Structure 1
């Protein structure tokens, strides 16, 4: 996936051409001064530099023609001329120039001596007034030649602040982290690259490869809907990429959208009639989702000679055609060998139903659990409802258990009201007190979800439960309910009760800190956040919260930076954390680093499908501090347009003030 960028250096080539006129055949009546012991009188030392450049260009051109021996000779000659040039400089009491050192580094890299190449690139870096993009990328290539991806990454990140919107830098960093299988970091840079492309370079050579990479990264990081969006963006101009079409089918399968999964699988079959994987996946979908059409599709596969002798496909083909002889043993053996496959378990459940297997209830529960774990919530719900129908009226507790599981499936499908009804029915049916406590907790939790906004109902349920069973998780959830009701004192009291019962749970301290913060009780907020981090060294949310508070209050700038850097190390693709670190740099008046991280924050938020007005206002503040009022007012207005508050008087006032400054 990685593509290295080569940089040719053509500066000073004209010098060589000029020197062609330095040696006329006729004698010069005026004696020339000898500037270097290695050169004839009157010949300047820059002649050696021009020859070195000429030989290097010859080496690159030979490389392009795949003339390896000629290329090697060209680079070796270039090294030789540069050595002589540097000797001449030494005789004058001078060291290598940044330009000549960089050329020598390029030569040694092409000759396969990365150690020497690195030494010369460092000399170039030390002697240059301003580090160039070409020099940084050269150093990255040297580290790659050493097969050290980590150091190659460090080279680019060290100087990224000087090239924050450079597509090559962002692409290379995204690529390097992808190669290192560090998906969150790769997503960060590819997202930033996409942000740059959309706003600055819409015709970038990286546009569609970036879309494909973001599709893959969002898929790996479990953002399936964003992955679909990115893959479709890539697919709009690369319609025959079978890998992407198959990945889209897989994502829709995982989301339980069999219709769309079939859509892409059928595209693959149309474009590549010999494809086997898409045909077999399509067969499994027909079996799981459209049983009435499954026999016809399996017959089609048979006619296409795509039903193999082994595997799950011939087993499913036997079942859909009603031939059950020997199927029980085949399915048991296949499931034992492939415990993670869903379709054989569904087939085994169907067979158990047909044969009226006495273990049907257990098989049903196991199959539903596998479907749930595969996020096939609709299928899991369907299986559970079928299992519940088979129960006898006297099996009341079993019915309650089925309803509880059905409610869980409905919750995951976002069907909050259906989930509440199922959980209520389960709670009425059950006489098991422990089970009732658990179901009440889930019911209280459901009332807080979606757009229901029934925090008061949640509080009432939990209050009744706490009176019978004062459990720390019950206090914790009621504290959360009070918090959403903006009853922060009551929220703090409940979190405190939870802490007294379980003083080692970091979440209780974190959420109490958020309530203290709402009441402007900073010492208590700080204390609880520090306690959260001490109990959980990976509590990035607490690190971000405390670091941002320090920045807002202009307190402990170094500690704030350390906390937020640690949070970003744990979650580099979290837009809130990038925003917080950007704000710390703003407070430290390091505006370039502030812009770098705030742009990361804005691009990540956009990738997640939302635009945060706070991030945009922070960007405006940084541009204003950099004395760029035009960009500042643009971001202030963007922030105002995304702010859901009815009015933000401070921001409106700020916009008017900056616009007045621009007009004057």
Structure 2
């Protein structure tokens, strides 16, 4: 059986992404023997005999084994001294000469290694081992053409020399000649059809050439001969991943994990693929696995928090990130996800504090400034919110949304003229911004510019044909005016085709029916709108109007009252007073009608 060489010529990693492949290490004996034990073993009857061409004398073998023990302990200088001593004792051993040459090569002493190789050539100019070491020396010195000639000579001498093909292919790879790399490996495959090494390396070349399907085919073929090879699975998994066949990539990474369950980088790779696929629950399982392996390390806490945020587990995110930001007070990502989660958990004051910290750390953070303004508005700090939005306009003048939110702030104050100005300033930056166009139309409608507003909403539909709010606004405006009611109905129904359960749109349809005199249809739609938007005062006002039209004054009063509870409006109060008066009047009539008529003479 051909012995395995130890050429310490490190093949480069042909694909940088194959970082998961573990490096082979020298296997250490369970119990290290003493020098005395080794000498005893040499003379024991059952000891495997060393051929004269390798280590001819027991004493030389003794120092050779000491050298091996030193290598196992990473004491290479000691190993060199032991090998040199063995060679002094047995100067005819070509085996020792080659072993020492290998050791010199691994220690970076190429000149010493080459001297020994040349000594071997004086006795045996066709020594395959010597040629292989010489090729490694030449490749290490970047004398690639010399290395090519040396490896080719080794292959000519022994066409079955597997390492010769592999190392020759590597030199061609360093020269960037991928075609010769493949040709060389194919020759090896022709010489040794079942060579797993050749098949595997061909797969790696195709991987580097980005011919991923061919790489997959060769890696799969290699696995047929070596079904438990971790490195082959690594190549196959990567080929699938680069091919964007993530299901098969995950399958092979899982096999690798079963072979090496303690490899954290594998767990992390699997997690990242699930994350890329937005399979957040699966990704979270692997992140939690990493957290459990090292509970004292918060390295993966942020990833776990982000995944839980995507899964809408906001309380859990807060529980993870509160302590995390105490130990990592400058982590903008952690503070950002904490702030967002606090918002979702309706802990607005703390969210505001977190966003302010983000902005202190990153004064150019557009998101932080916008969220600060929105939270101030949400907390009814209207003056401060307006100031922040005004400052945002000056800080981020090229961001269309700053004008949008500034306009909203003016809307809150019912300053529609200022809102219109803000929206129009934004449109100077982004003329086709759909939301800015839409809210410009809304501001125009509030200012009484009916025709201009209508034209703006038509323009919005031209910009975005499925912008449901624009259809609804047109329909509602026409219904309010009591004009073009068929067109109004068509527009609102178009809006509902995009958002069938939008309570505001259903209310608009009910109001169109009301204006068309279809009161029963109006009540049906308005009641549905009230179930969809329970806290909308306008819907209850509309229901009051519809029931009043039906002369169902008790129901009308009920809905006017609900509308007033949600928003005080003089106009609605007047309607409530009017229907209450009718109820009272009707009650008096009923009371009068129920009294008996007095007969004459009584």
TM-score by length of 1: 0.44
Of structures 1 and 2, the one with the larger relative CO (CA 8 A, separation 6+) is 1
TM-score of the two chains, using structure 2 as the length reference: 0.48
Structure whose CA Rg is larger: 2
